[in-house]
Amino acid sequence: MAKGREKMKILGIETSCDETAAAVVENGTKVLSNVVASSVEVHKKYGGIVPEQAAREQLKSILPVISESLEQAKTKLIDIDAIAVTVGPGLLGSLLVGVETAKTFAYVLKKPIVPVNHLHGHIYGCWVDSEKVPEFPAIVLIVSGGHTELVLMEDHGKFKFIGGTRDDAAGEAFDKTARLLGLGYPGGPAIAACAAQFPMTNDQLPINLPRPMIGSRDFDFSFSGLKTAVLREVQKQKEITEEFKIVMAYEIQEAITDVLVAKTESAVNFYLPKSVLVVGGVSANTALREKMQEKFENLFIPPIKYCTDNAAYIASCAFYNYKPVPWQKIIADPGLEI
Given a contact cutoff of 8 angstroms between Cβ atoms, the answer to whether 333 and 87 are in contact is yes
Which of 29, 177, 285, 321: binder of ligand KG4 (CB under 6 A)?
285
> Using CB under 6 A, which residues numbered 46 to 105 contact ligand KG4?
none
Cβ neighbours, 10 Å, residue 8: 20
Q: How far is the CB of 124 from ligand KG4 (least distance, A)?
A: 13
Shortest Å, Cβ 185 to ligand KG4: 8
Q: Is 338 in the site for ligand KG4 (CB under 6 A)?
A: no
175: contact with Zn ion by CB under 5 A: no
Nearer to Zn ion, 186 or 273 (CB): 186
Q: Which of 15, 144, 148, 264 binds ligand KG4 (CB under 6 A)?
A: 144
Q: Which of residues 181-210 bind ligand KG4 (CB under 6 A)?
A: 186-189, 192
Q: Which does 175 bind (CB under 5 to 8 A by kind): ligand KG4, Zn ion, none?
A: ligand KG4
Q: In whole angstroms, give the CA distance from residue 290 to residue 151.
A: 21
Q: Identify which of residues 51 and 189 has a Cβ nearer to ligand KG4 in the complex.
A: 189
Q: Which of ligand KG4, Zn ion, none does 188 bind, CB closer than 5 to 8 A by kind?
A: ligand KG4
Nearest-approach distance from CB 147 to Zn ion, in angstroms: 8
| Rounded Cα distance, 113 and 98, in Å | 12
Q: Is 14 in the site for ligand KG4 (CB under 6 A)?
A: no
Cβ distance to ligand KG4 smaller for residue 112 or 280:
280
The yes or no reply on residue 117 touching Zn ion (CB under 5 A) is no
Residue whose CB is less far from Zn ion, 112 or 302? 302
Q: Which listed residue (260, 284, 311, 318) binds ligand KG4 by CB under 6 A?
A: 284
Restricting to residues 290-319, name those near ligand KG4 by CB under 6 A.
Answer: 308-309
Among 174, 221, 313, 327, binds ligand KG4 (CB under 6 A): 174
Among 129, 175, 233, 254, binds ligand KG4 (CB under 6 A): 175
Give the 3-state DSSP-derived string for the chain, with helices as H, strands as E and coil as C.
CCCCCCCCEEEEEECCCCEEEEEEEECCCEEEEEEEEECHHHHHCCCCCCHHHHHHHHHHHHHHHHHHHHHHCCCCHHHCCEEEEEEECCCHHHHHHHHHHHHHHHHHHCCCEEEEEHHHHHHHHHCCCCCCCCCCCEEEEEECCCCEEEEEEEECCEEEEEEEECCCCHHHHHHHHHHHCCCCCCHHHHHHHHHCCHHHHCCCCCCCCCCCCCCCCCCCECCHHHHHHHHHHHHHCCCCCHHHHHHHHHHHHHHHHHHHHHHHHHHHHHHCCCEEEEECHHHHCHHHHHHHHHHCCCEECCCHHHCCCCCHHHHHHHHHCCCCCCHHHCCCCCCCCC
177 touches 191 (CB < 8 A): yes
Residue 309 touches Zn ion, criterion: CB under 5 A:
yes
19 binds Zn ion (CB under 5 A): no
Q: Among 280, 291, 302, 327, which residue interacts with ligand KG4 (rule: CB under 6 A)?
A: 280
Nearer to ligand KG4, 20 or 106 (CB): 20
Which residue among 101, 144, 165, 316 contacts Zn ion (CB under 5 A)?
A: 144
> Smallest distance, Å, CB 238 to ligand KG4?
29
The CB-of-216 to ligand KG4 minimum distance in angstroms stands at 23
| Nearer to Zn ion (CB atom), residue 112 or residue 187 | 187
Between CA 65 and CA 205 the distance in angstroms is 48
Angle at 311 between CA 301 and CA 75, to 5 degrees: 125
Query: Where on the chain is the footprint of Zn ion (CB under 5 A)?
Result: 144, 309
